[in-house]
Each structure stands twice: as C-alpha cells, then as structure tokens.
Amino acid sequence: MYLDFYGFGENPFNVTSDPDFLYLSNTHREALSHLVYGINNRKGFIEITGEIGSGKTTLCKALISSLDESVKLSLVFNSSLQDSQLLEAVADDFGIKPERRAKVAFIRAINSFLLDQLQNNRNCVLIIDEAQNLKNSTLETIRMLSNLETNKEKLLQIVLVGQPQLRDKLNLPSMLQLRQRVSVRFHLMPLEKTEILSYISHRLNIAGGNDKLVFSDKAADRIFLYSEGIPRLVNLVCDKALLFGFVKETMFIDEGLVEQSIKEIEGTYPVITV
Ligand SMILES: Nc1ncnc2c1ncn2[C@@H]1O[C@H](COP(=O)(O)OP(=O)(O)OP(=O)(O)O)[C@@H](O)[C@H]1O
Ligand SMILES: [Mg+2]
C-alpha cells in the first residue's frame, strides 16, 4: 500500500465516518452551529438533511464529541427499528427500566426520567441517523416523545438526520403534525470548489503524511468536477490518485493521475492491485 511511501500513520481517505478527520467547510460549520444552537436552546425537533456521502454521520459523531457532560445522549443508528424497539433503545441508552414492557409504560418512564434530568439541569438528546428509513409508525412514536415538555421547554431534543427523502417524507400531508414541530432545519451542501484543496490538505495532515506530497490546483478542479463536492467521492478519487502516485513514485498528484483514477473508478482503466 502507499501508506509507507507517503509516510502516513493511517489512511487519509478512508471512507468511514471518522470525526477526527472532520474538516469544517462552510456548510459543515453552519450545520454544527445549528445543531448546537438547537440542542442548547432546547428547540425540540432538529432536522438535518444532505445528499448521500455529504458527511451527515461524520457530523453527528463530531457533534457527540463536542457536547458537554451535562447532556444525556441516546443514539439510534439503526433506523429500521419498529416503534417499540425504538422506545426500548432510547430507554436502554438512558438507563431507564420501565415497570412493564408496554409502550405506554416506556413513555411514562421516559417522561419521568426526562423531568428528573431537567431538575438536575441536564439536557437530553436523541439523535437518529439514517432517519429517511424510519417507518411511519416509528415517526409517530418519535412525535409522541417530542410532546414531552413542561410549560416552558422541551424535555427531549430530537435530531433527525437523513438523506433528502427525509425531507420529502416529512412533507407528506400525514406528517403535518410532526413537521410543524421541527424548529431547526438545515440541508448540508456539497463542498465548494474553493474548499476542495483545503479539504484534501486537512485530511493529509491528520493522517500525518510527508510535507512534500501535494495535489495540484488542476487536480483539485478535476476532483471537484467528478465529485461535485461530495466528500465520499472526493475520498474515493484521492485514495486512487495516491495509489497511482505511489506506483509512479511521485509526491506530486496532478490532473493526469486524477483522470486515471476516475477512469479506474468508472471501470474504463485497467485496475492496479498492489
Ligand atoms: N466535513 C468533513 N470532513 C472530513 N471528512 C468528511 C466530511 N464530510 C464527509 N467526510 C467524509 O466523507 C465520507 C462520507 O461521510 P459520511 O459517512 O459522514 O456521509 P453521510 O452523509 O453520512 O453518507 P450516507 O448518506 O451514505 O449516510 C466519510 O469518509 C467522511 O469521513
Ligand atoms: Mg451516514
């Protein structure tokens, strides 16, 4: 692999959503401040959407590590849960054991837990990733959780994160009640053309690569054209370009290497395996 050649401690363009690599582009910075604002001000429902591979899960993970200890968190990364399973998952995350396993018992137990937390100045947050896959009945249960409030504030801040179909789903007439409760809404945009090079350099730095390794301006332009600013696609091309660079034993990644990478990804170039 090219890691040793370029002196990386770890793969700079892994496609996993590792928050240590978070680059605060304009859109990611804005999304994060909407999230923090919504949570700290107990705004209830927060909706974050973005195209496939735009960095939603990475953003959630970065948010989690930025929340202070007074925040109690429940995380749902499996959006195919039935409504009763969702309640169980939330109760489990908060360490709640209801007297009975009936839905109403769960909601009552969660409510009294949330009131207790409020009295202790703790804020409770439920984050649901991949929320575009939630079943309507599960969304209805989530709406019930959002009804838990005092006269002054929401007891539970609920962050729904998902692909653009989430927006479409919430726009259905049957979702009106839920939609009206969403008070913070943000759509993650792709990276801007001018951000591509600094995104790449940021990831190279975090991975601890050789200072001499550079991507040219034209290489970055070609990456932008192909990826349309979607970070996952940027990673895919950069990873291949480094492999081609390694084969050529060069620290200079130009548009030719990027072009080859794109051809290989698209299946129009002989595959290199090392
Ligand atoms: N702001 C960013 N800084 C650094 N890396 C990022 C950023 N946004 C996305 N990435 C990288 O892009 C890839 C895709 O990101 P992620 O998995 O978070 O996207 P997603 O929107 O959750 O995708 P999906 O729609 O498939 O769930 C990951 O490798 C991630 O590390
Ligand atoms: Mg994701």
Tens of pLDDT, residue by residue over 50-90, are 999 999 999 999 999 999 888 999 999 888 889 999 999 99
Which has more confidence, 247 or 79? 247
Residue 273 has pLDDT above 70, yes or no: no
CB 190 within 8 A of CB 51: yes
Is pLDDT larger for residue 183 or for residue 234? 234
**235 vs 243: CA distance, rounded Å:** 12
| Residue nearest (by alpha carbon) to ligand 1 atom 23 | 53
pLDDT score, position 64: 94
Rounded to the nearest 5°, which phi and psi values hold at 161? -120, 130
Give the pLDDT of residue 150.
85
Helices and strands in the chain: count of H runs, count of E runs: 12, 7
Beta carbons of 125 and 72 less than 8 angstroms apart: yes
Q: Is the pLDDT of residue 274 over 80?
A: no
Q: Answer whether 241's CB lies under 8 Å from 253's CB.
A: yes
Provide mean pLDDT across the span 202-217: 96
pLDDT digit string, tens, across residues 88-137 = 999 999 999 998 889 999 999 999 999 999 999 999 999 999 999 999 89
Which ligand is closest to the CA of 49, given by its number? Answer: 1
* Chain centroid to CA 152: 30
What number is the average pLDDT over the span 193-204?
98
Query: Ligand 1 pocket check: which of 17, 23, 187, 198 to mutate, most ligand atoms within 8 Å of Cβ?
Result: 17
- Residue 174: band (very low, low, confident or very high) from pLDDT cuts 50, 70, 90: confident
For ligand 1, mutation pick of 23, 25, 58, 236 (most atoms within 8 Å of CB): 58
pLDDT tops 80 at residue 163: yes
- Closest ligand to C-alpha of residue 232 is 1
Task: Label residue 271 by pLDDT band (50, 70, 90).
Answer: low
Q: Work out the mean pLDDT of the chain and round it to a whole number.
A: 94
CA of 58 to the centre of ligand 1 (A): 5
Residue 268 has pLDDT above 90, yes or no: no
Residue 67 and residue 73 in contact, taking contact as beta carbons nearer than 8 Å: yes
Mean pLDDT of 217-231: 98
169 lines ligand 1 (CB under 6 A): no
Q: How many angstroms separate the alpha carbon of residue 57 from the centre of ligand 1?
A: 6
For ligand 1, the distance from its centroid to the CA atom of residue 56, given in whole angstroms, is 6
CA of 48, nearest ligand number: 1
Report the percent of the chain where pLDDT is more than 90: 80
Q: How would residue 148 be classed by pLDDT, with cut points 50, 70 and 90?
A: confident
Q: Is 132 near ligand 1, meaning CB less than 6 Å away?
A: no
16: exposed, middle or buried (C-beta count within 10 Å: 0-12, 13-18, 19+)? exposed
End-to-end CA separation in angstroms for the chain: 6
pTM (2 d.p.): 0.93
Burial class (CB in 10 A: 0-12, 13-18, 19+), 143: middle
Q: Per the structure block, which two tokens stand in for 44?
A: 């209830």
What pLDDT does residue 80 have?
Answer: 87
Per-residue pLDDT, 125: 97
Say how many residues make up the chain. Answer: 274
